[in-house]
Amino acid sequence: MAYRICLIEGDGIGHEVIPAARKVLEATGLPLEFVEAEAGWETFERRGTSVPEETVEKILSCHATLFGAATSPTRKVPGFFGAIRYLRRRLDLYANVRPAKSRPIPGSRPGVDLVIVRENTEGLYVEQERRYLDVAIADAVISKKASERIGRAALRIAEGRPRKTLHIAHKANVLPLTQGLFLDTVKEVAKDFPLVNVQDIIVDNCAMQLVMRPERFDVIVTTNLLGDILSDLTAGLVGGLGLAPSANVGDATAVFEPVHGSAPDIAGKGIANPTAAILSAAMMLDYLGEKEAARKVEQAVDLVLEKGPRTPDLGGNATTEAFTQKVVEALKAL
């Protein structure tokens, strides 16, 4: 039986990095069937909605989904909603898993092997904003239920790793009701995971420690906006957004996507780094149970990152296609 994979390019460099990841997936030799779907700003402009209902149906008909990136305007556009944020809530993809690992390139810090587990359905990302004359208010929602399940997801990940360490990053000192509920709830569920060493850390200190001594972190669990920011920081530690993969995991399905956005500044030039999308595809293979194929894809990427050619974001001059071709060759030789 073939795995059914939903592919959503989205906007901007999504049109470049998703076809690249598809080529690498095809080179694994696994039985894969691809289903293409659309979402994002271009879809909104064409069809008046950023996520057509048939896209949701296609995702649910597949074993997993690989998503590129979607553009969100910074101004308010009537009727528009962010495609990936909508999918996270609609499909209840409550755990956003964002690994950061040292890579064999000059810009990467050595000794980093950590995972940020970001709550993905609430916090400030409920997108409830109001404006009264010159004052604007945004709601941040924290529930015990969502804190409990993200806590469990992070604890399970920590339990499966050699160092078995979890940091709960929070701002409960300033927001004792919302951030405090998150912190207390994760600490409570941690009692069910006696093998995991659990510590709490205030998020701003966590940001500083991540820059100074990233190697001391294993798994970090945090709320939505804080996780969004910390995971760009950790991406920066190991070579930048072009290298950072992620998974949005729920109980019913999972959507894998690079941490980066649609990169309008380089879109259409054929120079986007497809590594983040390819590593997201590797995370997807791991989720599907194809651990060996996942490991080989990651190994092939590291081999090409080490030897080159590299894309311009890493100081090289390779195109997206040339880099991808090298990864495909390296994978087939493994």
User: So which residues are the catalytic ones?
Assistant: 125, 171, 204, 228, 232
Q: Which positions from 194 through 253 interact with ligand NAD, judged by CB under 6 A?
A: 241-242
Q: Residues touching ligand NAD: how many (CB under 6 A)?
A: 21
Which of 260, 296, 310, 326 is close enough to bind ligand NAD by CB under 6 A? Answer: 260
Q: HSE of 274 in the Cβ direction (CA atoms, 13 Å)?
A: 35
The binding track of 17-36 with respect to ligand NAD, each residue x by CB under 6 A or -, is x-------------------
- Chosen from ligand NAD, Mn ion, none, partner binding at 70 (C-beta under 5 to 8 Å by type): ligand NAD
Which of 28, 167, 313, 330 is close enough to bind ligand NAD by CB under 6 A? Answer: 313
Which of 219, 230, 263, 279 is close enough to bind ligand NAD by CB under 6 A? Answer: 263
Least distance to ligand NAD, CB of residue 72, Å: 4
Q: HSE of 150 in the Cβ direction (CA atoms, 13 Å)?
A: 36
Distance CA 36, CA 60 (A): 13
Q: Does 119 bind ligand NAD (CB under 6 A)?
A: no
What's phi and psi for 65, nearest 5 deg? -130, 140
Q: Which positions from 202 through 231 interact with Mn ion, judged by CB under 5 A?
A: 228
Q: Does 266 bind ligand NAD (CB under 6 A)?
A: yes
The structure tokens 């956003």 sit at 96
Which of 55, 262, 319, 324 is close enough to bind ligand NAD by CB under 6 A? Answer: 262
Q: Which residue is nearest to ligand NAD (CB)?
A: 261
| Contact indicator for 50, 44 with CB cutoff of 8 Å | yes
**First and final C-alpha spacing in the chain:** 24
- Chosen from ligand NAD, Mn ion, none, partner binding at 151 (C-beta under 5 to 8 Å by type): none
Closest by alpha carbon to 104, among 328, 322, 298, 267?
Answer: 298
Closest by alpha carbon to 319, among 309, 327, 328, 329?
Answer: 309
**Closest to ligand NAD by CB, 231 or 253:** 231
Report helix, strand and coil shares of the chain as percent, to nearest 5: 45, 20, 35
Which of 9, 42, 257, 290 is close enough to bind ligand NAD by CB under 6 A? Answer: 257
Q: Which amino acid is at 48?
A: G
Rg (C-alpha) for the chain, rounded Å, is 19
**Which residues of this chain interact with Mn ion, rule CB under 5 A?**
228
